[in-house]
């Protein structure tokens, strides 16, 4: 699907097929989740990142069905570049009403970046001034897990992590996504 067509699709699904709620309800709920994790793990931010990624993974496993049903795209992307465009222009659009920029491709077409000009989760957020959070916590790390889980369900094993975040004082928020492999359809277990 051409990227302009993907944008139109994302826009249309967002406008006509998605139930909406006030953004601040979602933002504040996410905030309380991260805050609770920081408390439970005694500000071990590395562990908080892991937990967020895990939660995101669980979400991704279920979200992909929702994505396929709502976007009604029952055709496989022809390559990873198309996948990237669909994630940005349809996936992020219909769930979070944002369209991150796809960029910084490696020449083998297996690794790209999503740049988030807007990140609704980061509204109202300032990381703790404890000399560690800005170096260790990836506040929106749940999004990495969502991508990993959702793509796994459509036979793509990926690795995703943030490389910069405005909450850490960087000028951009950037996630790096790498295609590890396409997962072969596994044979169903032998029926003994």
Partner 1 sequence: MSHVGSGKAASSKEQTGLRYPSNGKTIYHRPLNRTKTAELSQAAFAYLFSEMVIYAQRRVAGIQELEKRLNLQGHPIGLKLLDLLLLREPPRSQTRPLTIIALLHFIKINVWTHLFGRQADRLEKSSNPDTPDEYMIVDNEPLVNAYISVPREMSQLNCAAFVAGIIEGVCDGAMFPARVTAHTVGGKEEGEMWPGKTVFLVKFQPEVLEREALLGKG
Q: Binding of partner 1 at residue 33 (CB under 8 A)?
A: yes
* Residue 83 host element (H or E): helix 80-86
Pick from 115, 125, 153, 154 the residue near partner 1 by CB under 8 A.
Answer: 125
Binding mask 63-102 toward partner 1 (x if CB under 8 A, else -) reads x--x---------------------------xxxx-----
Interior angle at CA 94, CA 92 and CA 99, nearest 5: 40
Pick from 5, 40, 46, 182 the residue near partner 1 by CB under 8 A.
Answer: 40
- For CA atoms 137, 138, 139, 141, the dihedral sign is negative
Residues recorded for the chain: 192
Nearest approach, Cβ of residue 165 and partner 1 (Å): 9
Nearest approach, Cβ of residue 111 and partner 1 (Å): 25
Tokens of 39: 């408390």
Give 149: exposed, middle or buried? Use CB within 10 Å, 0-12, 13-18, 19+: buried
Q: Binding of partner 1 at residue 169 (CB under 8 A)?
A: yes
How many residues touch partner 1 under the rule CB under 8 A: the total is 46
Q: Binding of partner 1 at residue 30 (CB under 8 A)?
A: yes
Question: What b/e string do you get for 17-32 counting C-beta neighbours within 10 Å, with b at 16 or more?
Answer: eeeeeeeeeebeebbe
Which residues lie near partner 1 (CB under 8 A)?
A: 14, 18-33, 35-36, 40, 51, 55, 58-59, 62-63, 66, 94-97, 120, 123-127, 129, 131, 134, 142, 166, 168-171
């Amino acid at each position: 699907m051409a990227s302009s067509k993907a944008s139109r699709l994302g826009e249309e699904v967002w406008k006509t097929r998605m139930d909406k709620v006030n953004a601040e309800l979602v933002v504040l709920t996410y905030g309380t989740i991260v805050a609770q994790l920081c408390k439970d793990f005694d500000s071990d931010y590395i562990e908080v990142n892991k937990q967020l990624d895990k939660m995101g993974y669980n979400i991704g496993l279920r979200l992909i069905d929702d994505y396929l049903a709502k976007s009604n795209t029952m055709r496989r992307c022809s390559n990873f570049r198309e996948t990237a465009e669909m994630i940005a222009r349809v996936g992020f659009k219909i769930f979070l009403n944002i369209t991150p920029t796809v960029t910084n491709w490696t020449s083998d077409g297996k690794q790209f970046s999503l740049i988030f000009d807007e990140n609704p989760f980061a509204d109202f957020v300032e990381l703790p001034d404890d000399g560690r959070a800005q170096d260790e916590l990836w506040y929106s790390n749940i999004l990495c897990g969502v991508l990993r889980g959702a793509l796994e369900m459509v036979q793509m094993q990926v690795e995703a992590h943030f490389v910069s975040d405005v909450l850490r004082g960087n000028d951009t928020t950037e996630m790096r996504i790498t295609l590890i492999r396409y997962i072969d359809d596994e044979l169903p277990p032998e029926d003994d």
